Structure 1
Amino acid sequence: MRVAIFASGDGTNFETLVQAFNRHEIQHGKVVLLFCDHPNAPVIQRAKRLQIPYETFPLKQFASKAKYEQAILTKLQEYQVDLIALAGYMRVIGPTILNHYSKRIINLHPAYLPEFQGLHAIERAFDDHLQNGRAQTGVTLHYIDEGLDTGPIIRQKHVPIKPDDTLDELETRIHQTEHRLYPQVLNEVICQISKGEKE
């Protein structure tokens, strides 16, 4: 199973997944590509260090989002990508890619969906904690569809918000949960797909 990881920022989940593949915690696959929409994002340095091929080009180079996604799709086909894992990718995937990879794109969202869909989910959960006493948030892995964080849920895990938490402490706890959960779920999905292809 040839996997592409999409990321936009620092890339801690990208590195966690690559290391899980390298340790064979994720079986029957390998990471063959990082795609990043920001040419100067730190995740690219991680890809270089981990010797993962990468492609990067910004949306503003293209006349439309459809043409941008067609260029991405062309790269995915060049690398013969079977499955896409979104790990901090900050753009909504449109139909050009979605139609080609139906039920083959997994997203990680730092909240217990359907709570706090969209951007700044951790900050919004923390604000709700301060204002209303919210005691937990969570992490969700799901397949993507045409909506915003609305696709079929694969796995979720609650993350507590402690009474004396700072935002940084909550973010750290969420990221720790992500780093444990994402490799497990990706391994299960790849094994299911591989088993289905053999049957």
Structure 2
Amino acid sequence: MKRIAVLASGRGSNFQAVIDGIASGYIPAVCVGLITDNPGAYAIERAKRAGIPVTVVDFRSFAGKQAYEDALLAAMQESGANLFVLAGYMRILGAGIVHAFSGRMMNIHPALLPAFSGLHAQRQAVEYGVKVSGCTVHLVDEGMDSGPIVLQRCVPVLEGDDEHTLAERILGEEHRALPEAVRLFCEDRLLVDGRRVRIR
């Protein structure tokens, strides 16, 4: 059975979707830890309720980015996880971490990549005037939301939407897409072929 660790910075609703997927048997794995950069993250409460160990690696407590990255890498290695799931983790991971866990890190992003990468993707979509948006689960590489795409789900952008109403509609699909992608990884059904991720 695969071991999963989740990295989250905020309320952790996608983390909860993974917890629920494991509890129901949909995801054949065990969650071995939550790693957060935010000691005030609500995700910590979710982890405690589920009996999941929490590691706080607070960026503000380190002298610089390299010291933080070293501590984060050590925490990730110590977890012994097969897969690291970035579920609203709001810091870009350095090259050392990306290389250490190449092919073993997934991120969920609230847009149909490669469109609208980075922050405020929902606002970008509304301002651009697109008719369809959605979410993307992708493997993590050194770029900004640029890794090979595992799954995407679409939602319509409705007349009168703002970034908040669109974000809520997308979030519902995130809660379905992320557990599905994690399940596929845990069942060894993902095959990375260059930029393509094939599902066996």
Query: Normalising by structure 2, what TM-score?
Result: 0.89
1:10 match? 11
Structure 1 residues without counterparts, runs of 5 or longer = none
2:78 match? 78
* Corresponding position: 1:62 with 2:62: yes
Cα drift, residue 76 of structure 1: 2.1
Deviation sequence 1:109-155 (CA, Å, 0-9, x none): 100001001011011112223xxxx2111111111111101111111
Cα drift, residue 194 of structure 1: 9.9
* Corresponding position: 1:120 with 2:116: no
State how many pairs are aligned.
Answer: 190
The letter of the residue matching 2:14 is N
Following the alignment from structure 1 to structure 2, what is the Cα–Cα distance between the partners of residues 58 and 103? 25
Structure with the largest fraction of strand = 2
SS in 2 for 1:149: coil
The letter of the residue matching 1:79 is S
Structure 2 residues without counterparts, runs of 5 or longer = 192-200
The letter of the residue matching 2:57 is F
Deviation sequence 1:5-39 (CA, Å, 0-9, x none): 00111110001101101111011x11111011110
Q: Identify the match of residue 177 of structure 2 among 161, 181, 189.
A: 181
1:193–1:73 Cα change, 3 Å: farther
SS in 2 for 1:99: helix
* Corresponding position: 1:144 with 2:145: no
Cα drift, residue 193 of structure 1: 6.7
Structure 1 segments, 4+ long, off by >4 Å, are none
Provide the alpha-carbon RMSD of the alignment: 1.7
* Corresponding position: 1:192 with 2:188: yes
Aligned sequence identity (%): 39
Counterparts in 2 of 1:128-139, with a 5 A limit? 128-129=128-129, 134-139=130-135
The letter of the residue matching 2:112 is Y
2:33 match? 33
